[in-house]
Amino acid sequence: MKNPGEVLLISCYEMGHQPLALASPLGFLEAAGYKPSALDIAVEGFDEERARSARFVGISVPMHTAMRLGILVGERVRAINPGAHICYYGLYASLNAGTLLGKSADSVIGGEFEGPLLELVEAIERGTKTPVPIDGVTGRATNETGELTGIIERRASTLPSLRRLAFQPPARSSLPPLQSYAKLDWKGELRLVGSVETSRGCLHLCRHCPIPPVYGGRFFIVPKQIVLEDVRALVEAGARHISFTDADFLNGPGHSMAVARAIQGNYPDLTFDITTKVEHILRHRKLFPELARLGCLFVISAIESTSDEVLSHLDKGHTRADIAAALGICQGAGITLRPSLLSFTPWTTLADYADMLDFIDRHDLIDQVDPVYYAIRLLLPPGSLLLADPTLAPLLGPLDEAAFSFAWKHPDPRMDRLHREVSRAVERAAASGEDPRITFQRVRLLVHLAHGEGIEKGIPAGGSIGSDLAVSPAPVHPASRRRPPRMTESWFC
């Protein structure tokens, strides 16, 4: 299997970035003497010829959107290349192992996947019909009678690999160029962006997050020299901004800050962004002036909700008051805070949703919130820690295998209707490039209609009111308005 293209890795979506979940395993495979090919359908489309000639096809599924696209890719590969071994790998692979192994997958790998993936390829190369047991790999094997074995119950997740890896430098030469991906929009200029990570997993156990069921509160450091070598390659490829895609950049602040200092020393003009929890902004507030000096333009933080009740159910580790304090810390350092939101949960009331919009308006965050977040609805994949919440049980439906999530209904039907209308409004706004302040006004008017249930009665037959609401453009373009730094593609899972 060391001939070019016999091993094929496919990415479906990685938040608008050149996929690190291809570059990293490509580095492992190339170091072992393989000549894998790579395909990113997010920017390249599907290549039937490459899929047909591969003996091993690895499909990267690090997030929900990638999972929904990946299952379609796997079925297409299976149809044109029935003999290929199809392996799904990444965070959502182990969460959805039961569904995947019942469909196109021969194996799934979760957690620290690069080592097990290489071992699996080596086992298949040796001609092992049923690959030998490998830590972190769940297989779709058959017994003597042809019955499937190794398929877990579909409501559960499978055990991931959580052993420390001897990391290899990511290999990016076979990936599409950075020009194909999302860019940094700042001061009227578009900059090429590269993505790296200083750590994987997470110390925290937020109950709505897909990471805790896989990593169980553990995180793994990526060696400093590996990160720096990857940054060097990205800069040589034209990157002028780096996105640190760690689940939380400040899980290990000593390590991550050392990496940031070294990068700034090598590339003084390179800017970057990080993701971190509200509680880490508060705990490590003294680091933020230095982060600004090192080139940090913005921080993504999952504030999720402004309702303390909702935050308690999610076990987020912060309160509404903490969000305001975190905003003050970032503003004081000259760093933009870009909140991500979980706007629709079973515990979010209509008053909560309206209050969230008021909070965003009051703190002048409209330009800092990607409108897609007004429509984000709680996902409940197999293994979700929230499935143990007793208040959720009466609202919970069966596992929707097509959506890779358990169905749930809000106790207030107005909230489910509001979600549908807000989703339509932000989708159309994104397609048309609408100013986020106009979109914000549309969403706020939808909430007002929902209070009087006009959201249902006012919808024209066969249509949606979300994009038809009359909104005033007058306050949208004040002379002093300066748009904060942002990516040209919204970040969501």
What are the extents of the domains in the chain? 7-149, 178-409
What average pLDDT score do residues 279-302 get?
Answer: 98
Q: Six-digit token pair at 393?
A: 């049980």
The pLDDT, as a whole number, for residue 459 is: 41
Q: Phi then psi for 88, rounded to 5 degrees?
A: -95, 135
Residue 130's pLDDT band, with cuts at 50, 70 and 90, is: low
Dist CA 104 CA 386 (whole Å): 28
Dist CA 58 CA 22 (whole Å): 9
Contacts 24+ apart (CB under 8 A), 332-335: 332/288, 332/289, 333/288, 333/289, 333/291, 333/292, 334/292, 335/288, 335/291, 335/292, 335/296, 335/297, 335/298, 335/299
Dist CA 254 CA 103 (whole Å): 43
The pLDDT, as a whole number, for residue 98 is: 87
SS3 label, residue 461: coil
Q: Six-digit token pair at 237?
A: 């490829």
Judge if pTM exceeds 0.85: yes
Q: How many CA atoms lie within 13 A of 281 on its CB side?
A: 31
Residue 137: closest CA among 166, 83, 94: 94
SS3 label, residue 263: helix
The pLDDT, as a whole number, for residue 75 is: 97
Per-residue CA distances from 210 to 41, 94, 382, 493 (Å): 23, 10, 9, 10
What average pLDDT score do residues 394-400 get?
Answer: 95
The pLDDT, as a whole number, for residue 235 is: 98
The pLDDT, as a whole number, for residue 480 is: 58
Q: Six-digit token pair at 433?
A: 């490039």
Q: Which residues contact 144 (CB under 8 A, 6 or more apart)?
A: none
The pLDDT, as a whole number, for residue 464 is: 46
Is the pLDDT reported for residue 460 higher than 50? no
The pLDDT, as a whole number, for residue 153 is: 56
Residue count of the chain, please give it.
493
Query: Which of 126-140, 345-359, 371-385, 441-455 comes out lowest in average pLDDT?
Result: 126-140
Contact (CB, 8 A) for 423 and 461: no
Residue 476's pLDDT band, with cuts at 50, 70 and 90, is: very low
Dist CA 255 CA 249 (whole Å): 9
Dist CA 12 CA 61 (whole Å): 7
Residue 10 forms beta bridges with which residues?
Answer: 39, 59
The pLDDT, as a whole number, for residue 452 is: 79
Average pLDDT, the chain: 91
The pLDDT, as a whole number, for residue 493 is: 61
H or E element in which residue 74 lies:
helix 64-80
Pairing mode of beta strands 183-186, 296-304: unpaired
Concatenating the DSSP letter of every residue in 385-402 gives GGGG-TTTGGGEEEEETT
What average pLDDT score do residues 249-265 get?
Answer: 98
Report the percentage of the chain scoring pLDDT > 90.
82
Residue 147's pLDDT band, with cuts at 50, 70 and 90, is: very low
Dist CA 305 CA 355 (whole Å): 10
The pLDDT, as a whole number, for residue 375 is: 97
Structure-model confidence comparison of residues 207 and 452, the more confident one: 207
Residue 275: closest CA among 17, 460, 9: 17
What average pLDDT score do residues 304-327 get?
Answer: 98
Contact (CB, 8 A) for 144 and 248: no
Dist CA 456 CA 464 (whole Å): 10
Residue 405 forms beta bridges with which residues?
Answer: 400
Helices 350-362/413-432 angle, 10° precision: 40
pLDDT in tens, 269-278: 999 999 999 9
SS3 label, residue 491: coil
Query: Which of 105-114, 150-159, 204-213, 418-427 comes out lowest in average pLDDT?
Result: 150-159
Query: Could you say which of 3.30.70.20, 3.90.600.10, 3.30.565.10, 3.40.50.2300 is the CATH number of the domain covering 7-149?
Result: 3.40.50.2300
The pLDDT, as a whole number, for residue 91 is: 94
Residue 457's pLDDT band, with cuts at 50, 70 and 90, is: very low
The pLDDT, as a whole number, for residue 148 is: 45
Radius of gyration of the chain (CA): 23
Amino acid at 28: F
Q: Which residues contact 261 (CB under 8 A, 6 or more apart)?
A: 294
Q: Six-digit token pair at 163?
A: 């052993």
The pLDDT, as a whole number, for residue 462 is: 37
Is the pLDDT reported for residue 374 higher than 50? yes
Residue 326: closest CA among 338, 313, 315, 343: 338
Residue 271 forms beta bridges with which residues?
Answer: 241
Q: Six-digit token pair at 194?
A: 């590269």
Q: What is the largest CA-CA distance in the chain?
A: 75
Dist CA 142 CA 76 (whole Å): 22
pLDDT in tens, 186-219: 999 999 999 999 999 999 999 999 999 999 999 9
Pairing mode of beta strands 141-142, 148-149: antiparallel
Q: Classify domain 178-409 at the CATH topology level.
A: pyruvate-formate lyase- activating enzyme (3.80.30)
Contact (CB, 8 A) for 136 and 75: no
Q: Do domains 7-149 and 178-409 have the same CATH topology?
A: no
Is the pLDDT reported for residue 145 higher than 50? no
